[in-house]
Amino acid sequence: MIELLTPRQIDEMRPAGEFVGQVLTKLVEVADVGVNLLELDALAHEMIKERGAESCYIDYAPSFGRGPFGKVLCTSVNDAVLHGLPHDYTLADGDLLSLDFAVSVDGWVCDSAVSTVVGTPDPADLALISTTEEALAAAIEVARAGNKLGDIGAAIGGVARAAGYSVNTQFGGHGVGRTMHGEPHVPNDGRAGRGFKLRPGLVIAIEPWLLATTDEIKMADDGWTILSTDGSRGAHSEHTIAITHGDPIVMTAR
Ligand code: MG
Ligand code: MG
């Protein structure tokens, strides 16, 4: 069932979004050459405790993963793009790091992801990251009452293809509310003018992710981390947004 939130409920959700934005800002600041992925997870965990928030990941055990996840943060490095399970790895110069973070504050969930390069960036990695960010911005721009779900997918797919990337639709965005993953599924590609009609009160996570030279993925041995099949790097950009009578609200703005 697709749930529509009242303006008051969307306001109640704002602290969760602000907190998710603050944590990702802090993690991007701290992530650097020589920092271990487990340190980033520990820092996020500490911030969750201080805030009195609840992790959406630590007990998460969906059908596609080897649950429970056991960590509070997804850290996907280089050829890992989604659901990266933090492990004992120290970031090296030029690593492309994607961070994905979702918590519940006062019973409301927000979910967001960001990619960054530590140390000296390869221009190809920066181009990949900026394309996912442009795709997200284009999708948010059309996340308006009266438009269709297909407009969001078409916006993402259009930006990706124009930049020379192909799109995988096995994982995409989703409804967000009291729980992390609700309806509708928000595909990262689609046909404009098709699908569910967007309405005020619909809150969704939009999350384009791209791989540099393939659209094929495989599961890592840890049972969680999603890797490119060809070893090429991935990037991921996500915001939780609320559709209103006017402009969309980016709940997880940084
Ligand atoms: Mg996420
Ligand atoms: Mg998500």
**Mean of pLDDT values over 204-226:** 97
- Asked if the model's pLDDT at residue 65 lies above 80, the reply is no
238 Cα: distance to centroid of ligand 2 (angstroms): 7
pLDDT digits (tens, 9 = 90+) for 106-137: 999 999 999 999 999 999 999 999 999 999 99
CATH code for the domain in which residue 213 is found: 3.90.230.10
Whether 245 maps to a domain, the answer reads: yes
Is 1 inside a domain boundary? no
> Rounded mean pLDDT of 51-60?
95
Give the torsion through C-alpha atoms of 19, 80, 128, 36, to 10 deg.
Answer: 60
Q: What domain range includes position 220?
A: 7-250
Q: Is 90 a domain residue?
A: yes
Ligand 2 centre to CA of 111 (Å) is: 6
pTM above 0.75, yes or no: yes
Ligand 2 centroid to Cα of residue 244, in Å, is 20
Across 232-238, average pLDDT: 98
**pLDDT category of residue 144 using cuts at 50, 70 and 90:** very high
Cβ atoms 82, 105 nearer than 8 A: no
Cα–Cα distance for residue pair 111/204, rounded to 1 Å: 9
Q: Is residue 26 part of a domain?
A: yes
- Mean of per-residue pLDDT scores for the chain: 97
pLDDT tens string 12-47? 999 999 999 999 999 999 999 999 999 999 999 999
Asked if pLDDT for residue 181 goes beyond 80, the answer is yes
Query: CB 148: neighbour CB atoms within 10 A?
Result: 18
Cβ-based neighbour number of residue 67 at 10 Å:
14
CB atoms within 10 A of CB 92: 12
Whole-angstrom Cα distance, residue 61 to residue 83? 12
Mean pLDDT calculated for residue range 204-231: 97
Domain membership of residue 2 (yes or no) is no
CB 44 within 8 A of CB 113: no
Q: Is the pLDDT of residue 148 over 90?
A: yes
193 Cα–ligand 1 center, Å? 26
Q: How far is the CA of 83 from the centre of ligand 2 (A)?
A: 10
Q: How many structural domains compose the chain? A: 1
